[in-house]
A and B are shown apart, each in its own frame.
Chain A
Amino acid sequence: EPEVTQTPSHQVTQMGQEVILRCVPISNHLYFYWYRQILGQKVEFLVSFYNNEISEKSEIFDDQFSVERPDGSNFTLKIRSTKLEDSAMYFCASTGRDTQYFGPGTRLTVL
């Protein structure tokens, strides 16, 4: 069964450093998303991506964040200068039509 994959599973970084979180969406899906979940809280939408451009983004997704689909399979989230409050689980999701399927997440720890 096809699934969304994410790497790495855990990323530890120093405050101010850049991180890139990687995702491989389900192959025939057209919409891609990033969400985050701070420990113990609900899942929050960050950004959606369709046809090689951002279609919607939340207030959380400020200038420190960017997304890219560098090739036909990968979808990346870059945080340019990490802050302590960026520590969270980051989930990638993709959909072909309605149902969004989520990856296992990357736990980002900013020290």
Chain B
Amino acid sequence: GESVGLHLPTLSVQEGDNSIINCAYSNSASDYFIWYKQESGKGPQFIIDIRSNMDKRQGQRVTVLLNKTVKHLSLQIAATQPGDSAVYFCAEREIQGAQKLVFGQGTRLTINP
């Protein structure tokens, strides 16, 4: 069945360093991918998205890379700040259906001062 999973449950980086969070997906029919940030007690907050016809998309301090050959998605955060500490989820959407998102397990990112 479809699944979206993350390679590492936790990641610690020094403030100012770059971080990379990885995600593997299994549904080749997925056409759209999103990264969400979730802080404690809050709802998922949209960070960046990418369609399956792209392999890279950049935002402010964040870049998402999509490798459809190996079904891999990554989120790069540049110059990490204490406010980046959160759980990060990748999510995928199938081409068919009512646009439901399938979420991965999440990676907890901790920024050390």
Contact = CB atoms under 8 A, between A and B. Distances in A.
Interface of A: 4, 31, 33, 35, 41-45, 48, 50, 55-56, 58, 91, 95, 98-105
A42 B43 contact: no
Contacts of B91: 43
Indicate the member of B32, B89, B91, B100 with the most A CB atoms within 10 Å. B100
A33 B100 CA distance: 8
19 contacts: A4-B43, A31-B98, A33-B100, A35-B101, A35-B103, A42-B103, A43-B44, A43-B103, A45-B100, A45-B101, A48-B98, A48-B100, A98-B32, A98-B49, A99-B34, A100-B46, A102-B36, A104-B42, A105-B42
Contacts of A100: 34, 46, 99, 101
Contacts of A4: 43
B104 A99 contact: no
Contacts of B32: 98
A35 B36 CA distance: 14
Interface SS of chain A: helix, strand, loop or mixed?
strand
B70 to A, nearest CB: 22
Contacts, number: 55
B104 A42 contact: yes
Contacts of B99: 31, 48, 95, 100
A43 B89 contact: yes
A19 to B, nearest CB: 18
9 smallest CB-CB distances across A and B, nearest first, come from A55-B98, A56-B98, A102-B43, A48-B98, A43-B103, A45-B100, A102-B44, A42-B103, A104-B43
